[in-house]
Chain A
Amino acid sequence: EVQLVESGGGLLQPGGSLRLSCVASGFSLRSFEMNWVRQAPGKGLEWLSYVSSDGRTIYYADSVKGRFTISRDNGKNSLSLQINSLGSEDTAVYYCARRRCGHSCYSPHFDYWGPGTLVTVSP
């Protein structure tokens, strides 16, 4: 069974940093491109970052570029997201999601999601 489990969230102060992790099981992470998506309380979904299967290609949403760093360790079947200079706008549930191509890779979708980890930024 495919599973993704995020961890590393919690209550943090503005200006701080944290590292979120996502551990995969039931499939080989090295074979899939991965993403992070977040959802602020009561709000919609926001795509944050993408990493290719070999880790060499990375993209970020403009809203987080420069503060967020995505990485992966295929040997440990894990994905990470480093977040620096935390602000209240970063308060959200953070999901890791597996990218999958359908008929083509022209517009991939996210076929599996973890349950998410809550990050709360407050003084």
Chain B
Amino acid sequence: QSVLTQPPSVSGAPGQRVTISCTGSSSNLGADYDVHWYQQLPGTAPRLLIYDDTDRPSGVTDRFSGSKSGTSASLAITGLQADDEADYYCQSYDNRLRGYVFGTGTRVTVL
């Protein structure tokens, strides 16, 4: 039911850079609604990682960065670390569904 599509998984070696894409449509990202990103460590609640496309809450390392263009957005993780292993979700608003929508989720594995 998710209207924001993410790759199921991405992986990288420690120290590498990985990116996670989030593809939407004209009723969400394409309508200029901001995209936000959450990290969910195993067995825990989601944690806000990036808001308003590119901003980081206080306490979030600058190894995480976000971008958005048109109907797509991306989350980049640089200097990949073992404790970055988690599920990552994008989130926005959809004016056709008139509600908040999440991405399908991406599992990041550190090789």
Contact = CB atoms under 8 A, between A and B. Distances in A.
B45 A95 contact: yes
Interface stretch (A57-65, A69-77, A80-88): A57-65
A79 B39 CA distance: 24
Is the interface on chain A under 10, 10 to 19, 20 to 34, or 35 or more residues? 20 to 34
A92 B2 CA distance: 16
Contacts of B111: none
B46 interface: yes
Nearest to A49: B99
29 contacts: A44-B2, A44-B89, A44-B103, A45-B46, A45-B91, A45-B102, A47-B102, A50-B99, A59-B99, A62-B97, A62-B99, A102-B34, A102-B51, A102-B55, A103-B52, A106-B33, A107-B33, A107-B34, A107-B52, A107-B92, A107-B93, A108-B93, A108-B100, A109-B34, A109-B51, A109-B52, A113-B46, A115-B44, A116-B45
Is the interface on chain B under 10, 10 to 19, 20 to 34, or 35 or more residues? 20 to 34
Given A63-B1, A102-B34, A110-B91, A44 B51 contact: no
Contacts of B63: none
